[in-house]
Chain A
Amino acid sequence: MPSVEIPLEKWTGQVHQVTLGAGGRKTVTVGGENTLPYLHFDGTIPNKTAVAIEIQDIAPADWSPTLLKAWGDVVNDPATWAKKAVEYGAEAILLNLKSAHPDEGNTGIAEAKAVTDKILSAVDVPLIVIGTGVADKDNEILPAVSEAARGQRIAIGNCEEKNYRTVVAVCIADGHIAIPSSPVDLNLAKQLNILLTDAGLPIDAILMDPTTGALGYGLEYTYSVMERLRMAGLGGDKLTAMPIINNVGEDAWKQKEAKVAQGLPESWGDMETRGIIWEEQTAISLMQAGSNLVVLRHPQSVAKVGAAITKLMG
Chain B
Amino acid sequence: MIIIGESIHVIATSIRKAIEDRDKAFIQKLAKRQADDGANVIDLNVGPQKKHGAEVMPWMVETIQEITDLPLCLDTTNSVAIEAGLKVCKNKAIINSTDATEERLTALMPLAAKYNCDIIALSLAKVGLPTTADARIELAAEILAVAEAEGVPSDHIWLDPLVLTINGNQDQALQTIEAVRFFKQMADPAPMTTCGLSNISNSCPEELRPLLNRVFMVMMAGAGLDSCIADALDEKLMEVVKILTDRDDSTPKGKLYLGLYDCYQEGEMYDTSTADMSDPEISDIVKTVKALQNESLYAHGYLKL
Chain A residues close to B by CB (< 8 Å): 185-188, 190-191, 193-195, 198, 228-229, 232, 237, 239-240
In whole angstroms, what is the CA distance A228 to B170 when docked?
12
Give the 10 A-B residue pairs with the shortest CB-CB distance, closest first. Answer: A190-B299, A194-B301, A191-B299, A232-B297, A191-B300, A237-B296, A190-B297, A187-B299, A187-B298, A187-B167
Instruction: Using A187-B167, A187-B168 as known contacts, say yes or no to A195 and B301 having CB atoms under 8 A apart.
Output: yes
Contact yes or no, A198 B304, CB < 8 A = yes
Residues of B within 8 A of A237 (CB): 296-297
Least CB separation from B205: chain A residue: A191
Q: Please list 27 pairs of residues, one from A and one from B, whose beta carbons are closer than 8 Å in the complex, sorted by A's number.
A: A186-B168, A186-B297, A187-B168, A187-B170, A187-B297, A188-B299, A190-B297, A190-B298, A190-B299, A191-B299, A191-B300, A191-B301, A193-B299, A194-B299, A194-B302, A194-B304, A194-B305, A198-B304, A228-B297, A229-B297, A232-B296, A232-B297, A237-B296, A237-B297, A239-B299, A239-B305, A240-B297
In whole angstroms, what is the CA distance A312 to B304 when docked?
38
In whole angstroms, what is the CA distance A191 to B304 when docked?
10
Residues of B within 8 A of A186 (CB): 168, 297
Residue from A185, A191, A228 with most neighbouring chain B CB atoms (10 Å) = A191
Least CB separation from B296: chain A residue: A237
Least CB separation from B297: chain A residue: A232
Residue from B297, B298, B300 with most neighbouring chain A CB atoms (10 Å) = B297
Interface residues on B, range: 10 to 19
- Interchain CB contact (< 8 A) of B301 among A198, A229, A232: A198
In the assembled complex, the CB of A236 is this many whole angstroms from the nearest CB of chain B, namely 8
Chain B residues close to A by CB (< 8 Å): 167-168, 170, 296-302, 304-305
Residues of B within 8 A of A240 (CB): 297
Least CB separation from A194: chain B residue: B301
In whole angstroms, what is the CA distance A232 to B291 when docked?
13
Residues of A within 8 A of B296 (CB): 232, 237
In the assembled complex, the CB of B284 is this many whole angstroms from the nearest CB of chain A, namely 15
Residues of B within 8 A of A187 (CB): 167-168, 170, 297-300
In whole angstroms, what is the CA distance A240 to B167 when docked?
15
In whole angstroms, what is the CA distance A185 to B170 when docked?
13
In whole angstroms, what is the CA distance A195 to B301 when docked?
8
- Further pairs besides A232-B297, A237-B296: 9, Cβ < 8 Å: A185-B168, A186-B168, A187-B167, A187-B298, A187-B299, A190-B297, A194-B301, A194-B304, A198-B304
In whole angstroms, what is the CA distance A186 to B296 when docked?
12
Residues of A within 8 A of B297 (CB): 186-187, 190, 228-229, 232, 237, 240
In whole angstroms, what is the CA distance A190 to B301 when docked?
9
Residues of A within 8 A of B301 (CB): 191, 194-195, 198
In whole angstroms, what is the CA distance A187 to B205 when docked?
13
Residue from B168, B298, B305 with most neighbouring chain A CB atoms (10 Å) = B305
Least CB separation from A191: chain B residue: B299
In whole angstroms, what is the CA distance A194 to B298 when docked?
11
